[in-house]
Chains A and B, each alone.
Chain A
């Protein structure tokens, strides 16, 4: 879908709506994969939408529009995490996931398997899971991921490689990867 950036800069609500309808799930995903809390992710996504709407004139075309928006979302979520001093609640959350998931490993079907892998993905370090997520957005080359996360391309590749390996280790008991 073609987004008219000129119209966005003129604050056309219809154009913004079109843009958000296409990208909102991904913006939310970036935020959620950082903060790991659906309610907070929803609030933060709303704030990101306002930031994008109010700051669209700062977009100078140095990257894709979507990457620029993901970068705002990522930075906003990371700032939120820093403010929250989040570690204790994350630990509790991870334990819950583990206990619930591992009860049902024998009869995991596709949806359940996806949920299980998603939960395991959330156990990865923040940088790894965000890099892996952006990588699997498909349209994002390494360069755009690097721009979004504010790191260099080499680091992005390392994060994706390590994230993938750690995820495989976490899934080792349940799944065997097809070669």
Chain B
């Protein structure tokens, strides 16, 4: 036996499916995980850390190509310019470039900058001021 129906009414009635209830909770959990992941990346990508890596890289570059720079006199020029600014800066450049100290100085410098950055970040977080949010 056939039934009489109004197809449009029935299609309106069945138009929307019911979604499982916990989907919004799952989404919230996913957002929390994503935020956590982004925070970690934000810390790793902090300018002071990135700059320290770049500076360290440049430092190594100078060391590796020290001879070349010596040949072209760039290092001497840098020393004489920095001597005009301050003898201490010139001394530190000399010390850093000298083969006995460059590895140690680069390592210490990088670790120091990274430590200060992390301290800065966590102190800011503890005091309720997010540095990451303000970038």
Contact = CB atoms under 8 A, between A and B. Distances in A.
Nearest to B7: A177
A49 B27 contact: yes
Contact of A45 (B1, B10, B19): B19
A21 interface: yes
Interface in A156-179: 164, 167-168, 171, 173-178
Given A46-B30, A106-B1, A176-B2, A24 B14 contact: no
Given A25-B18, A117-B14, A46 B3 contact: no
Contacts of B10: 113-114, 117
Q: How large is the interface on B (under 10, 10 to 19, 20 to 34, 35 or more residues)?
A: 20 to 34
Contacts of A64: none
A103 to B, nearest CB: 15
A164 B7 contact: yes
B17 A32 contact: yes
A176 B4 contact: yes
A121 interface: yes
B5 A177 contact: yes
Interface stretch (A77-85, A90-98, A130-138, A144-152): A130-138
A20 B30 CA distance: 15
A175 B24 contact: no
Given A46-B26, A49-B23, A174 B16 contact: no
Interface residues of A, number: 40
A89 to B, nearest CB: 19
A108 interface: yes
A175 B30 contact: no
Contact of A28 (B1, B3, B7, B19): B19
A171 B4 CA distance: 11
A104 interface: no
Interface of A: 13, 17, 20-21, 24-29, 32-33, 42, 45-46, 49-50, 53, 106, 108, 113-114, 117-118, 121, 132-133, 136-138, 164, 167-168, 171, 173-178
30 contacts: A20-B24, A28-B17, A28-B19, A29-B15, A32-B17, A42-B19, A42-B23, A45-B23, A46-B23, A46-B27, A49-B23, A50-B31, A53-B31, A108-B3, A113-B10, A114-B13, A117-B11, A132-B11, A136-B8, A136-B14, A137-B15, A164-B7, A167-B7, A173-B2, A175-B3, A176-B5, A177-B4, A177-B5, A177-B6, A178-B5
Given A176-B3, A177-B5, 8 more contacts: A25-B18, A28-B19, A45-B19, A46-B23, A117-B10, A136-B14, A138-B15, A178-B6
